[in-house]
Structure 1
Amino acid sequence: MAFTHIWHQLYLHRQKIGFAVFFLIFLASAVQVQAQTQKVKAENKPGYDEKRIHYGFYLGMSYSKYHIEHSQAYADQAATGTQVNTMNELGFYPGLVLNVRLLEYLDARFVPGVGFYGRSIDFERNDTPEGEGGSFDNTTFASPVIELPVLLKYRAKRRGNFRMYMVGGVKASRVLGNTTHTQNRDLLRINRNDLSIEYGVGLDIFYPYFKFAPELRFSHGLTNQKSHSGGEYSPLIDRMTTRNLSLIFHFE
């Protein structure tokens, strides 16, 4: 059945929850330290927010996967045919930051980067003789991806050398490498282009010579990534979209 990997999927969800909890604990600890040292520590980089444009770079790591909606053909053969399960994979991506001040607490951000992800799908075939168990085909798309996020950043009031913020916007992306997965036969094909919505929270930390900002960001793909150009397992999938949970470190 399609529930073969339920325990594995629950384990992956625990990883993502732990990822988010660790980030929130980090933010809470940083704010507490700021509150304890605010009276004795001088404010770093005064007047930083008055500048119109800021530049920087970032390094990110993410859990990435495909969210799959099965087709009617999959439902018709689910009891005895091929089962489809998605897998979370760890990836990373570097990029650049262009930040433009729009209003007192609102910025526009263009943060292009290159993502190195490995989104995987497991196909368990139940067409082997009884008693021998099913066989697996693992389909992993690990090509580099050019990403072009455009975000709005809403900043809270600065407190000493710390400040919370929220971001939200859209991201266009394009796969650079192979979009056909083959293991002696054509298994599945994906589309090159994608459009996602992105949102998250972060913390600006001001140091004497730069600003450091850890950020937790979520990404939900809007376009169907399954190509209609064929593939052995293509009929089993009606729609597949991307999902990312990222921890990003900005240096500006």
Structure 2
Amino acid sequence: MQTRRNISVFICIALMIFSGSATLNAQRNDKVLNRPYTDLRHWHMGFSVGLFAPTLGFTHNGYVTENGETWFMEQPSYSPGFCVNGLFDLRLNEYFSLRFTPGMYFGNRTIKMRDNISGTIEQQDIKSTYIVMPLDLKYNAIRLHNVRPYMLAGVMPVFDVAKRRNRDLLQLKSSDILLSIGFGCDLYLPYFKFAPEIKFCIGLTDLLQRNRPDLDDDPDRLKFTQSLSKVRQQMVVLTFYFE
């Protein structure tokens, strides 16, 4: 008898939960869709603002100077920068679109160089002003009322137009190509579409500038360049799109 009563109570609770869930779903289905036809446009434009964190990855070769020094380079912390982009979106079909988001990134990286023998530390700030031209393929999931998550992947050519200083301890090349992958979520508001997005970018080229004629009169400063076999950059980019 007690068992039957427990089963009855369980069934009543389940029915209440199911009924509440059905009511909630009905309310959600009755929710007004903001901008229901915005994704049917063949193409559209927008803009974004955001932050990015550039980092450098150093590969050392174990070079030892005539004085027995072994230099180790690192970027000990992130230095967030500011970015602003335009947006040109071309609809391919219901789920895919091609996006071109040219813009500018403004950032700074602090590099520390340490001699493992004496413990001597040198430091250099590398300021960058990037012109970027990302091209991404965007996959849009099914729209859930006023929310639509998405993923994207692509390439991002970058050109650093900041002025180079002669006699820097390290000098980097001015251009690179990065592979990128990321995800975000389109939020449909009454008057526009808002999309927070995070993207991870990995550089494909060696940025180290090995040809240093500016150091011909001070060859000892070449030891920092000679201690590295390659330098590659990575970025984490957080952007907010308005479409």
Q: CA deviation at 1:136?
A: 2.3
The equivalences for 1:169-208 within 5 A come to 169-180=154-165, 185-208=167-190
Aligned equivalents of 2:69 and 2:228: distance in 1? 17
Q: CA deviation at 1:86?
A: 1.8
Alignment correspondent of 1:153: 138
Alignment correspondent of 2:37: 47
Aligned equivalents of 1:235 and 1:158: distance in 2? 54
From 149, 152, 167, the equivalent of 2:152 is 167
The equivalences for 1:207-226 within 5 A come to 207-226=189-208
Q: What code does the residue aligned with 2:232 have?
A: T
Alignment correspondent of 1:236: 227
Query: 1:150·1:170 contact (CA, 8 Å) conserved in 2?
Result: yes
From 28, 53, 63, the equivalent of 1:38 is 28
Q: CA deviation at 1:52?
A: 0.6
From 100, 123, 148, the equivalent of 2:113 is 123
Count residues in correspondence: 209
Gaps of 5+ in 1: 1-33, 129-133
Aligned equivalents of 1:227 and 1:36: distance in 2? 62
Query: 1:108·1:150 contact (CA, 8 Å) conserved in 2?
Result: yes
Gaps of 5+ in 2: 1-23, 213-220
From 135, 141, 153, the equivalent of 2:120 is 135
From 73, 80, 85, the equivalent of 1:84 is 73
Q: CA deviation at 1:37?
A: 6.9
Q: CA deviation at 1:41?
A: 2.8
Aligned equivalents of 1:195 and 1:35: distance in 2? 46
Q: CA deviation at 1:83?
A: 2.4
SS of aligned partner of 1:122: strand
RMSD: 2.3
Residue 101, structure 1, aligned to residue 91, structure 2: yes
Q: What code does the residue aligned with 2:157 have?
A: A
The alpha-carbon distance between structure 1 residues 68 and 99, as it changes in their structure 2 partners (threshold 3 A), is same
Aligned equivalents of 1:80 and 1:89: distance in 2? 29
Q: CA deviation at 1:201?
A: 0.6
Q: CA deviation at 1:135?
A: 3.4
SS of aligned partner of 2:133: strand
Aligned equivalents of 2:25 and 2:53: distance in 1? 32
Query: 1:66·1:120 contact (CA, 8 Å) conserved in 2?
Result: no
Alignment correspondent of 2:8: none
TM-score scaled to structure 2, two decimals? 0.79
Aligned equivalents of 1:216 and 1:186: distance in 2? 33
SS of aligned partner of 2:232: strand
The alpha-carbon distance between structure 1 residues 52 and 238, as it changes in their structure 2 partners (threshold 3 A), is same
Alignment correspondent of 1:144: 129
Query: 1:220·1:244 contact (CA, 8 Å) conserved in 2?
Result: yes
The alpha-carbon distance between structure 1 residues 37 and 198, as it changes in their structure 2 partners (threshold 3 A), is farther
Q: CA deviation at 1:247?
A: 1.2
Q: What code does the residue aligned with 2:233 have?
A: T
